[in-house]
Structures are given as structure tokens and as C-alpha cells.
């Protein structure tokens, strides 16, 4: 009898520990392909439509980053964006995030042209915030690597405007 219960206990321990190992493995998140280098800790939506749906559902603004792989300005902005802890944390916690390498059919996302990089905000009421602009009058929604403080201010503005207007 002793042998039988020891065997049963051993099998139970093996089962529990292998389940635990599987749970730990699952906890380690798979590399984020949707981040495309903009921030692997951020949960990214795949499409603009999904972004709008999530923004409305969660009452968080959607941040849309238009960029292209072979654009040096995009690469420089991406690096500054990914290395900025405050931006990464806000993007992770307070925004629905989307980075796109193609244009959407929503003309509201290109009020002054289809250039890259371009960052726009969409309110949970699904209004594109054309009033949240960068520093450059020739390309209203572009940011440069040295503009991260300005982008942070605009992210805060996007959050503040929801609370005051809805």
C-alpha cells in the first residue's frame, strides 16, 4: 500500500510541475510582430477597424502611427519612440495602439496629405482629432526624434480631451 500511494503522489507531483512549467512558458509573451519595433510591451491592434472598435469599447483614444520600413525619418522616430519610457508606458496603459504601413480608406486620417511618419489620435467617440498636431506647419502630424516631449504633451492632451468632452 505504501508503494502505491508513493507512486500516486509522485505522478501527481509530476503532473502539477509540468502544468506549472506550461503556465510559466505561456506567461513569457511571444515576440510581438505587430509592434514592428515601436514597442514590444505594448498591445497593438492589427487594423484600423479593430482600433476603432477597441477605442469605443474601452473609452481610450486610438493612436495611429503611419510609417514605412524604408523611410529613414520613420526609423529615427521609431527608435526615439521605443526608447522613451513615458511614451511606452502611456501607450501601453492609456491608448489603443496601431502602427500602419499602408494608408486607410478613412480620409480623416490624412487631412493634410499621406506622408510618413504621421501620428494621429482618434477619440473613443470615433472622431479623428485633427486639432492635435505636431510642431511643423507643412506636415501637421509629423514628429521628429527630438519631439518626444511634445508627443507626450499631445498624448496627455488626447487623454484630457476625452474626459472634458464626453
- Domain CATH number, residue 90: 3.40.30.10
Inside any domain, residue 28: no
Q: Structural domain tally of the chain?
A: 1
Rounded to whole angstroms, how far apart are CA atoms 66 and 35?
A: 13
Query: Which domain, by its residues, includes 107?
Result: 59-159
2-19 confidence digits (pLDDT tens):
666 666 666 555 555 555
Inside any domain, residue 145: yes
Inside any domain, residue 48: no
Inside any domain, residue 111: yes
**pTM (predicted TM-score):** 0.80
Inside any domain, residue 146: yes
Rounded to whole angstroms, how far apart are CA atoms 145 and 3?
A: 68
Handedness of CA 117, 118, 121, 126 (dihedral sign): negative
Burial class (CB in 10 A: 0-12, 13-18, 19+), 75: middle
Rounded to whole angstroms, how far apart are CA atoms 46 and 101?
A: 11
Inside any domain, residue 15: no
Inside any domain, residue 26: no
- Which are the contacts of 165, defined by CB distance < 8 A and separation ≥ 6? 123, 125
90-146 confidence digits (pLDDT tens):
999 999 999 999 998 899 999 999 999 999 999 999 999 999 999 999 999 999 999
Instruction: Give the phi and the psi of residue 154 in degrees, each rounded to 5.
Output: -70, -35
Inside any domain, residue 36: no
Amino acid at each position: 500500500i505504501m508503494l502505491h500511494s508513493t507512486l500516486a503522489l509522485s505522478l501527481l507531483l509530476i503532473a502539477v510541475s509540468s502544468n506549472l512549467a506550461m503556465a510559466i512558458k505561456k506567461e513569457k509573451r511571444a515576440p510581438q510582430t505587430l509592434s514592428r519595433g515601436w514597442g514590444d510591451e505594448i498591445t497593438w491592434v492589427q487594423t484600423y477597424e479593430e482600433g476603432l472598435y477597441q477605442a469605443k469599447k474601452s473609452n481610450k483614444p486610438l493612436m495611429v502611427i503611419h510609417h514605412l520600413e524604408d523611410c529613414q525619418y520613420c526609423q529615427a522616430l521609431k527608435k526615439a519612440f521605443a526608447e522613451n519610457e513615458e511614451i511606452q508606458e502611456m501607450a501601453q496603459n492609456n491608448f489603443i495602439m496601431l502602427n500602419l504601413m499602408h494608408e486607410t480608406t478613412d480620409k480623416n486620417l490624412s487631412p493634410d496629405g499621406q506622408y510618413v511618419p504621421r501620428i494621429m489620435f482618434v477619440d473613443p467617440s470615433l472622431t479623428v482629432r485633427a486639432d492635435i498636431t505636431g510642431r511643423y506647419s507643412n506636415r501637421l502630424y509629423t514628429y521628429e526624434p527630438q519631439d518626444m516631449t511634445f508627443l507626450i504633451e499631445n498624448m496627455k492632451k488626447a487623454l484630457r480631451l476625452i474626459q472634458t468632452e464626453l
